[in-house]
Amino acid sequence: MKKTIVLIVLLLVSLAMYFGDELDEKVRELRRVEDEIRNTQNQVKQAETKQKQNQQELSRTANLKKRTETNIRTLQRSESVVKDSITSVNQRIDITRNSISYLESLLNVEFELLLRLNYSSEVMPRAKEARLTGSMINRTNNELLIQNGYRVILTQSYEQHRRQFISVNRELRTEDQKKRSYDRQIRSLQTENSRLTQEQQRLQNRIKKLKQDAAELESLIARLTATTGREPANYQFTQTKIMWPVRGQIIRRFGEESRGPNTSVISNGVDIAVPENTSVLAVDDGEVVFSDRFGGQGKLIIIDHKNGFFSVYAYNNDLLVNKGAKVKRGQTIARSGMTGSALQPSLHFELRRDGRAVNPLPYFE
């Protein structure tokens, strides 16, 4: 009978040890999942920020393209006007050139006529005709001078319009190149925008799955806690209130919600900003059940206070106690830091009751 009792006791002890080890393992797994949720949410925020910047750049580029298209239309109208002006000047130059050619021919005829009249033997009858012919020559010559002057003016006008056309055409090509460049940028930004949207959706699906995993782990931890054979939890600390692990500004509160499109992640503890290597104190008596580096939590310590509560200390630079160590309230257990996923020197602190996160602030002295 005594042997049977001893065997039963040994069996119960073995089961308690087994479930206790499994509990520790599941608590660590829960920390890993929660850390992965935070890291994934940070990735969502980064993707949202990048997409916002991308959208701003897309809007800016679209406005630049619109302005360039307006410039192109203005330059095209100017180019058309200058082309018409060049055509008109060319036509007038051709008319003037023909007129000059005609006047030069007429002047030659009139000079020949005058010469014949001057060599005629009939002096008196031809004198009047010679005077008339001389007068015609003067008029034709004056008209020729006027047409030549007009041709010079038209040629200068043509050259001016030609230079203007070259300038407008050069600006038009420049604006057209800018427009093509903006088109390429817009296509690239739209492609990146689509990729970021898909990336955010993928991360949001990941967060949803991780939150489901975390909920299942918390449920399992609660069941394991009830089957470890430990004394019933009395939820009483050695004093009415627990100590602050460090003193500093709270930069992230318990239950603080980090939002993204269709997703949110709730903080399971508080983040307290303190300089690196600040002494981290045990908030109450207990046993160290974890002391090691743990993913995004950085260097992590978990203390079992043997009353149904666990306290968690993350982001440390140095760990000063090992797993299995018995610690006292106010004992220095670590030096704070910026390890893991910490964005600034701080301590991440959690208080867990039966494996579930609770707001630690009402428990602090």
pLDDT in tens, 224-249: 556 555 555 788 999 999 999 999 99
> pLDDT-derived band of residue 261, with 50, 70 and 90 as boundaries?
very low
Does one domain contain both 93 and 226?
A: yes
Same domain, 192 and 268: no
Residue 263 and residue 210 share a domain: no
Pick the more confident residue, 66 or 200: 66
Point out the domain boundary residue: 188, 203, 230: 230
Q: How confident is the model at residue 227, as a pLDDT? A: 56
Under DSSP, the state recorded for 363 is G
Same domain, 167 and 225: yes
CATH number at residue 19: 1.10.287.2610
Q: Is 8 helix (H, G, I), strand (E, B) or coil?
A: helix
Q: What is the tens place of the pLDDT at every residue in 173-208?
A: 999 999 999 999 999 989 888 888 888 888 788 778
For residue 108, name the pLDDT band (cuts at 50, 70, 90): confident
Check whether residue 81 and residue 45 sit in a common domain.
Answer: yes
Same structural domain for residues 209 and 259? no
Q: Give percent above pLDDT 70 in the chain.
A: 80
Helix (H, G, I), strand (E, B) or coil at 248: coil
Same domain, 147 and 131: yes
How far apart are the C-alpha atoms of 257 and 126, rounded to whole Å?
Answer: 119
**Domain span holding position 359:** 233-365
Residue 248's nearest CA partner among 151, 155, 346 is 346
Which residue, of 230, 248, 270, is where some domain finishes?
Answer: 230
Mark whether 172 and 314 lie in a shared domain. Answer: no
Shared domain check, 211 and 66 = yes
190 and 277 both lie in a single domain = no
In a shared domain, residues 157 and 238: no
For the chain, the domain total comes to: 2
Nearest-angstrom CA–CA distance, 290 and 312: 9
Q: What is the pLDDT of residue 6?
A: 45
Q: Mean of the per-residue pLDDT values for the chain?
A: 82
Are 163 and 150 in the same domain?
Answer: yes
